[in-house]
Chain A
Amino acid sequence: MTLVSKGIASRPTTERRPGGTYGRVARRKAVLGAALMAPAVLLVGGIFIVPIVMSIWMSVSKWPLLGPHHLIGLDNYLRLFNDASVWRSFAFTAIFALIVTPLVLVLGLVLALIVQKGRPGIGVIRTAIFAPVVVGNAAASYIWLALTDPGAGLVGRLLTDLHLTGAPPNWLLSMASATTLVVLAVLWKTIGFSMIVLMNGLNGIPNDIVEAAMMDGASRARTLWSVKLPLMMDSIAFVATFTFIGALLTFDQFYIITGGGPDSTTVSAVYAIYNTAFTQLNLGYASAISIVFMILILVLTVFQLRLFQSRSS
């Protein structure tokens, strides 16, 4: 009773004195909060906001790699909308991402199902599949370029020795085979990562739910389709989004393996941006392409996440 009456007695006092003890505490908390947030705000601002604002500024400027720059309004954007080579690179990149993403998901899931259960030697298999993930993109691309070289590559030799082809195939001779080669290189490089993430998703499903489905007579395929996949939708969404964005941003593989050829048919969007900035030395136009491409990726990613959200619910 005494405590209550003390509390009641003290409350009106602080309300009447907003600048008193409580006000000072609140202000200190606010300052402390701002101070604790400052590094994150500076980091986000420095790494994301400033470069984007800078890119927007450059995209409305005539900005050569060397020499003075000046504002030109929307000229770069108008040029972009009439530039068939840029849209060709966007379309090619989208097709590439639409091929790679389902392949990574399906093959990653198959591998995850194979290596999920602990069996003798399974650790070695998991490690072998995951190992390419830690190889750098450039190194991996050069490995694939050397392996598939029609003159000295092991792949060509193997195919001819097995009498599957009459001569070592020249993968870079057509757009389709050059793209296939890059798809294989990307699968080799990324499949281990999706396998690990999807395996975690599978391991996170409670056993009793799976057992209940089996006891109700559901086949393995039915259990996978109707029970496991819906319950691991977060992992699937993560792999799909991560792979899709990664595929849209592919550069190294095309730069090193195909060089954009044959006849510039395998120039990805980022490759086109790189060429515009560092071959044509036109940073302003490259920034305009980057901004439009960034917006397209944002729209596609939001659409993709919405799709997974609706499936999940």
Chain B
Amino acid sequence: MNLRRRTIFSALAAAGALTLGLSPPTAYASEPIALWARAETGSFLTPLVEAYNKSHERQISLTLVPDAQVTQKYSAAAATGSGPDIAIIEIGRLPQFLASGWLQDITSDLAGLPYKDALSPAHVSQGELDGKHYALPLSADVSVLYWNKALFKAAGLAPDTGPKTWDEIRSTAAAITKTGNGNFGYFFSGGCGGCMAFTMLPYPWAQGAEVMVGEKANFAGNKALGDSLQLYRDIVKDGSTPNTAQTENGANQFGPFFSGKIGMFVNGTYPYVELKKSHPDIDFGIELVPSKDGSGAASFAGGDDIAITKRIDKATGMEVLKWFTSEGQQLLAQSGVLPIRSDIAQADYVSLDPRNQVFVDALKYGHIPKSPEVNAIFFDNSSPFAGLVQAGIFGTGPIDAALNAAQSAADKITGK
């Protein structure tokens, strides 16, 4: 009996060892392809995956990871080699995963794509490390300047033309605020580091400045960034923003403009779609965020890239990536979502609404701070950049001192 028990135990142990130790790390060909993405992408990604599954035998199983858990879940997957076969990663966070060995090198595959030059340059750059590419662009969200035409008219301004210089932005904001009735000229989410990066950094970028140089933040002595903070400080000093601008932490970043009481704000494609769908009474225009004298323009290029992990063979993975960057982009464009390919954008997206051209142009001028530490330096609400926004815009001390303090805080993070 004892011998029999021992034999059964040994057999079970051997089976367990085989299961744990000898099973292949890659997904089986008959299994669905596991695709992970952040929950925020669900609105356009779910129909895209449904379309893919209709036309392919091997199905995709989509998992939407809650936004607050993305860093933890993706990092755990990257550290252990578990998780998805294909990962859709927000491009701000992408650099932190490039050196982990989680994603497959697709440099030669990218070079062989006939549409490689039409892909959003900022998205392609975010997926590159030491000359090797690990991801392709998937979705884009670019920041542009919105203006409310009714409020422009009420302030005696030409409603069909947005401000072209920083001085015009300031004077327009003041003129709209003067109309009273609870109207304010300009709005921004000053309590949200990520929102401010998305909406304010285009100003220094339009001046030709960079906010990251190599591995380091570039705050101290950054004149263009200092001038941008001064513009915002002046707008606040003029009383052209509601006082909620200082503390708005991203939860209500669109609400004030949607209420029809805000003259201008900088934001991405989401409010554009939402305004057209749910607030047709608000007549608005969009344009690129201008440089100080109007001679240049810039935008923050956000969105997601798509990459193949080492859990799946590259040929299968590339088949998925090629579909998402070709047929998938056409479907997105036709449904009114900005595609990451300029050729498809011109053919299928701009024709839907002439204003769409502004977003297509913004993709060309798109920037994003590239660093594995970007979240800690810019996007988090207690980041050095978030502190810089508070001190630089709402503080009373010299802006140069605020820039120096932010530089010192950022250096502690990059030098850890």
Q: Contact residues of A with B, CB < 8 Å?
A: 65-67, 145, 149-152, 170, 172-173, 259-264, 267, 271, 275, 278-282, 285
Contacts and interface: CB of A to CB of B under 8 A. Distances in A.
A172 B391 CA distance: 16
B97 A66 contact: yes
B191 A281 contact: no
Given A261-B249, A262-B247, A264-B387, 15 more contacts: A145-B251, A150-B243, A150-B244, A152-B252, A170-B243, A173-B246, A259-B192, A259-B381, A260-B381, A260-B382, A262-B191, A271-B382, A279-B382, A281-B75, A281-B376
Interface string B248-262: 010110011001000
B380 to A, nearest CB: 4
Closest 10 CB pairs of A and B: A172-B247, A259-B381, A259-B249, A260-B382, A263-B390, A280-B376, A264-B382, A279-B380, A65-B75, A66-B100
A34 B372 CA distance: 50
Contacts of A152: 252, 255
Contact of A279 (B191, B259, B376): B376
Contacts of B243: 150, 170, 173
Interface centre among B246, B255, B256, B259 (most CB of A within 10 A): B246
A312 to B, nearest CB: 42
A247 B249 CA distance: 23
B382 A278 contact: no
A259 B79 contact: no
Given A151-B244, A173-B247, A280-B373, A66 B382 contact: no
Contact of B191 (A65, A67, A261): A261
A262 B390 contact: yes
A66 B251 contact: no
5 contacts: A170-B247, A172-B191, A260-B382, A262-B191, A279-B382
A172 B72 CA distance: 28
A173 B79 CA distance: 40
What is the interface of chain A mostly: helix, strand, loop, or mixed?
loop
Interface in B218-267: 242-244, 246-247, 249, 251-252, 255-256, 259
A151 B246 CA distance: 13
B75 A170 contact: no
B82 interface: no
Contacts of B99: 66-67
Given A173-B246, A264-B382, A282 B390 contact: no
Contacts of B71: 65, 278-279, 281
Contacts of A261: 191, 247, 249, 381-382, 386, 390
A15 to B, nearest CB: 33
A275 B391 CA distance: 21
Contacts of A267: 382
B78 A66 contact: yes
A275 B379 CA distance: 12
Given A66-B75, A260-B382, A280 B416 contact: yes
Name the residue among A172, A173, A267, A280 with the largest chain B CB count within 10 angstroms: A280
A67 B376 CA distance: 17
Contacts, number: 84
Interface in B119-136: none
B252 A151 contact: yes
Contacts of B391: 263
Contacts of A170: 243-244, 246-247
| A145, A173, A261, A271 interface centre (most CB from chain B within 10 Å) | A261
A282 B191 contact: no
Contacts of B244: 150-151, 170
A136 to B, nearest CB: 14
Contacts of A263: 387, 390-391
A262 B246 contact: yes
Given A262-B191, A264-B387, A275 B380 contact: yes
B370 to A, nearest CB: 16
A66 B101 CA distance: 10
Given A65-B75, A260-B382, A281 B247 contact: no
Interface string B31-44: 00000000000000
Contacts of B372: 281
A275 B416 contact: no
A66 B79 contact: yes
A264 B406 CA distance: 13
B96 interface: yes
Nearest to B250: A259
B337 to A, nearest CB: 28
Nearest to A76: B416
B309 interface: no
Interface string B357-392: 000000000000000110110001111001100110
A275 B382 contact: yes
A278 B387 contact: no
B62 interface: no
Contacts of B97: 66
A263 B383 CA distance: 9
Contacts of B246: 170, 173, 262
Nearest to A267: B382
Nearest to A285: B416
A259 B381 CA distance: 6
